[in-house]
Structure 1
Amino acid sequence: MSLTIGLTYDLRSAYLAEGYSEEETAEFDQEATIEAIEATLAELGHQPERIGHGRQLAAALVAGRRWDLVFNIAEGMHGIGREAQVPALLDLYRVPYTFSDPLVLSLTLHKGLTKRVVRDAGVATADFLVAERPEDAAAVPFAPPWFIKPVAEGTGKGITPASIVRDREALAPACAQLLARYCQPVLIEPYLPGREFTTGIVGTGARAEVLGTIEVQLLDSAEPGLYSYANKEGWRTRVRYRLLRPEDDPVVAAAEATALAAWRALGCRDGGRVDLRCDTHGRPLFLEVNPLAGIHPDHSDLPIICRLRSIPYRELIRRIVDSARIRLAGDQ
């Protein structure tokens, strides 16, 4: 069945033109991503229609525009609930959309609250402390080295070599720098020295399934020991993504089981990614979930996983839309 599908997104070039910085716009999409989704939806027999960011969506809704479905990849610019703004507007006007709802997107942007939920659900995750003030770091109950990052950022923002803290005297000053720069709490975790994975997932609830898992391997040219903002931005020369299969590697099988359990426990929908890293014993632990994963056809992790699994980009988009349609049919 052909659908009229609106596209909501934040275009990076538009925000750069408004004077925002490269880092502030790091999570936003390139024109090529919008063009790829638009063309793919048309190939699938749908009628795509560009809407744009949250303010443009609000104006369109007030003007009476409606769609059968909205394909939402808008990240939002301001506030800790920014990823929930577009879905909340769509819920208000009862317009169906892809991916997770406002509750899930607000929760999962806050890495500390997310870890509380998955820990309560029995999903393996590292110890952690959320520091609201620099002096909160004194209460950290686990031993160094520590890993610190802003509690509500993506794309590696705020993650640099200084994120690995080895001395207790340096922990509070390091947290103070992040607090001042990003104006949000800091997540403190044990530094996990093991392998790092990202697992792609498509579907919702019991229908959710793993698309595949890649290991993030840092090259000699990368900042060592962490998947930092600089390493993500310069991935072509700093990072190698290696496809892994659970039948060949029991650690990968454990990582995929952990990722799927976290996805279901958090109520994520339709498609996205879960990031994991191994501790000193080689046990994969939940790091964070991305329920609005990048879907640039060439360099976003989810399409990379699909490409390495010989899953065409068209099939990925089809499965996301079909997941939303099945889910929405069940709500009727």
Structure 2
Amino acid sequence: MRRLRVGLCYDLAEKHQPRPGEPPDKAAELDSRETVEGLSQALASLGHEPLPLGDGRELLQFLQAGGRVDLVFNLSEGLTGRSREAQVPALLEMLEVPYTGADPLTLALCLDKAMFKRVLQAEGLPTPVFRTVEGPSAVEALDVPLPAFVKPLAEGSGKGIQADCRVESPEALRRVVRRVGETYGWPVLVEEYLPGAELTVGILGNGAARVLGSMQIEFLPGSGEIYSYRTKQDYLDLVRYHVPPQLPAETVQAAQEIALATYRLTGCRDFGRVDLRLDARGRPSVLEINPLAGLNPVSSDLVILARRRGMEYRDLIGEIVQAALDRHGNNGS
């Protein structure tokens, strides 16, 4: 493979820390310097020239000034709007710059949990029954089967998820829906709570996409049995990861087949991760998909899963880059 100039696009969490009155997990989806440096080192070890560019605005300034790269490795989550993850890919497509990962349509669809779930339902893929609460005026009349789970409609990385998001009474339901809506914006998603094991499935590639592996998340005391922002931050103390999952082989196989079908249905590219839970009968159901899965070299789920499967970080990044090059009709030679 020839040496490529690879631009890195990302939103640094340290530049967007919460102000007084803002939620403490405001920057939960954004990347750390550790991630940018780890990715840069991996690309350099593969023989490429990494060029950290910064966020979408900085990327635009670079391109407007005549800057050129062979490929953009996109980590950018964006900052505002339910289509924020689509902003950088849309810019790159307009300017015909090759990039890693999903396109604008897939990223916008998958961030809006209700839209994503409607697509799954239309194709007969399992996902918890849900409804959206459009605003404060709809809270008092809210009537859903309990227990239920309350989430922000368009957030990731456990943002907005707390122990009280699993609700078991009408009073708690109304209280938590108001909190989530007032803090993270309306609409709010309310879905059926599934009591079974939680697992995530990593996927790599495109036309011949393959399952990298599955990882079960075992919740330890203090986690609240929820993969919340706090749990993800303190994962060494609050969860135990099992690769392969400590579940029946047929259950894992079913989860992987559903995950791969979800990846293909939504048009994910190069890499991604699908989160599932088992229902009361042990059947896997899709919670959400992350077509822009985190790539922190130490703590991101996809990276941990790859490492447990014997794939080093450098090789994971190499597969993502090669998949993007193949998709763009450039094998790097």
TM-score > 0.5, shorter chain as reference: yes
Tell me if 1:268 matches 2:268.
yes
With normalisation by structure 2, the TM-score equals: 0.93
Q: Do the aligned partners of 1:84 and 1:101 also contact (CA within 8 Å) in 2?
A: yes
Q: Which moved more, 1:177-186 or 1:161-170?
A: 161-170
Q: Deviations over 1:180-235 (max 9, x none)?
A: 1111311111111100001111112x31111011111111132x221112111111
After TM superposition, list the pairs within 5 Å mapping 1:1-332 onto structure 2: 1-16=2-17, 22-136=24-138, 143-204=145-206, 206-222=207-223, 224-244=224-244, 249-329=249-329
Q: CA–CA distance in 2 between the matches of 1:156 and 1:85?
A: 21
3-state secondary structure, aligned to 1:148: strand
Q: Do the aligned partners of 1:134 and 1:173 also contact (CA within 8 Å) in 2?
A: no
3-state secondary structure, aligned to 1:50: strand
With normalisation by structure 1, the TM-score equals: 0.93
| Partner AA of 1:5 in structure 2 | V
3-state secondary structure, aligned to 2:211: strand
| Residues 141 and 120 (structure 1), Cα distance of their counterparts in 2 relative to 1, 3 Å cut | farther
Q: Do the aligned partners of 1:212 and 1:245 also contact (CA within 8 Å) in 2?
A: no
| Partner AA of 1:4 in structure 2 | R
Q: CA–CA distance in 2 between the matches of 1:246 and 1:173?
A: 36
3-state secondary structure, aligned to 2:328: helix
Higher helix share: 1
Q: Do the aligned partners of 1:127 and 1:142 also contact (CA within 8 Å) in 2?
A: no
Equivalences, count: 328
Q: Deviations over 1:293-315 (max 9, x none)?
A: 11111111001001100111111
* Structure 2 gaps, min length 5: none
Q: CA–CA distance in 2 between the matches of 1:271 and 1:118?
A: 19
Q: Do the aligned partners of 1:100 and 1:268 also contact (CA within 8 Å) in 2?
A: yes
Q: CA deviation at 1:40?
A: 1.1
| Residues 129 and 17 (structure 1), Cα distance of their counterparts in 2 relative to 1, 3 Å cut | closer
Q: CA–CA distance in 1 between the matches of 2:222 and 2:24?
A: 22
| Residues 104 and 125 (structure 1), Cα distance of their counterparts in 2 relative to 1, 3 Å cut | same
Q: Do the aligned partners of 1:144 and 1:167 also contact (CA within 8 Å) in 2?
A: yes
Q: CA–CA distance in 1 between the matches of 2:286 and 2:151?
A: 15
Q: Deviations over 1:230-281 (max 9, x none)?
A: 1111111111111116996211111111110000000011001100001111
> What is the aligned-residue RMSD (CA, Å)?
2.0
Q: CA–CA distance in 1 between the matches of 2:161 and 2:153?
A: 11
Q: CA–CA distance in 1 between the matches of 2:290 and 2:191?
A: 19
Q: CA deviation at 1:134?
A: 3.9
* Structure 1 gaps, min length 5: none
Q: Do the aligned partners of 2:128 and 2:193 also contact (CA within 8 Å) in 1?
A: no
User: Relative contact order (C-alpha < 8 Å, sep 6+): which is higher?
Assistant: 2
Q: CA–CA distance in 2 between the matches of 1:169 and 1:29?
A: 36
| Residues 308 and 266 (structure 1), Cα distance of their counterparts in 2 relative to 1, 3 Å cut | same
Q: Do the aligned partners of 1:135 and 1:172 also contact (CA within 8 Å) in 2?
A: no
Q: CA deviation at 1:64?
A: 1.3
